[in-house]
């Protein structure tokens, strides 16, 4: 191979670099949490609201310790939550971001690229109508952003750590959310 042919082949590679699909960030999961602070009827209403919003049966969460000032006893059911993955997670996230005006503060992102935000009233979500029987509740939305290959940290056999260079950084997460969902990060 001559020098000119070598330059041509290297020139082709430089012009058209392949994007590594293993480095593309994606939504790992979206966790929606409603904490009412007491068991009984308010918790049952929150469960119904969360089930209508997400289409999944919520999991009941119990208090970890007694807090007398709030009237909470240890192991009393006080909250409900749902974990969404895949298309359901993305669909719900789009609606939830619309409820906050497609704006998220930069301080909501952590150093690993995850972010969280709150919705004051569930009726702010597009397509949700007020039901006087259920009332109005607020909720927290927590989003986990990861890359393909994160399974090695969760699997049961041959568990391994995610390398520092493969983790999603805050800047990458912000850019992903801006480009994919059209969110303004301020």
Domain assignment of residue 116, yes or no? yes
Task: Write the pLDDT tens digit of every residue in 48-93.
Answer: 999 989 889 999 999 899 988 888 889 889 899 999 999 999 999 9
Which domain does 26 fall in, by range? 21-185
Domain assignment of residue 33, yes or no? yes
Domain assignment of residue 15, yes or no? no
Mean pLDDT in consecutive groups of 10 residues from the start of the chain, 186 residues: 53 56 90 88 90 91 89 88 93 91 91 91 86 87 92 92 90 92 89
Which two tokens mark 89?
A: 């997670």
Give the span between the Cα atoms of 111 and 8, in whole angstroms.
Answer: 42
Domain assignment of residue 12, yes or no? no
Give the span between the Cα atoms of 163 and 152, in whole angstroms.
Answer: 11
Domain assignment of residue 104, yes or no? yes
Read off the CATH number of the domain in which 179 is found. Answer: 3.30.1440.10
Domain assignment of residue 16, yes or no? no
Number of domains composing the chain: 1
Give the span between the Cα atoms of 19 and 10, in whole angstroms.
Answer: 17
- Please check whether residue 182 is in contact with residue 64, taking contact to mean a CB–CB distance below 8 angstroms: no
- Please check whether residue 49 is in contact with residue 119, taking contact to mean a CB–CB distance below 8 angstroms: no
Domain assignment of residue 80, yes or no? yes
Does this model's pTM top 0.75? My answer is yes
DSSP state of 145: E
User: What is the SS3 assignment for 182?
Assistant: coil
């Amino acid at each position: 191979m001559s020098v000119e042919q070598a330059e041509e082949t290297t020139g082709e590679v430089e012009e058209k670099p392949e994007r590594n699909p293993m480095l593309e960030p994606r939504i790992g999961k979206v966790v929606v949490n409603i904490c009412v602070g007491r068991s009984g009827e308010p918790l049952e209403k929150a469960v119904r609201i969360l089930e209508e919003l997400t289409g999944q049966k919520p999991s009941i969460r119990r208090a970890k310790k007694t807090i007398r000032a709030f009237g909470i006893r240890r192991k009393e059911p006080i909250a409900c939550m749902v974990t969404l993955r895949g298309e359901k997670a993305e669909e719900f996230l789009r609606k939830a971001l619309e409820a906050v005006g497609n704006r998220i503060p930069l301080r909501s992102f952590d150093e690993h690229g995850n972010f969280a935000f709150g919705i004051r009233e569930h009726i702010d979500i597009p397509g949700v109508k007020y039901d006087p029987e259920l009332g109005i509740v607020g909720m927290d939305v927590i989003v986990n952003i990861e890359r393909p290959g994160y399974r090695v940290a969760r699997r049961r056999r041959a568990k391994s750590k995610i390398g520092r260079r493969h983790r999603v950084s805050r800047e990458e997460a912000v850019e992903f959310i801006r480009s994919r969902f059209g969110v303004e990060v301020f």
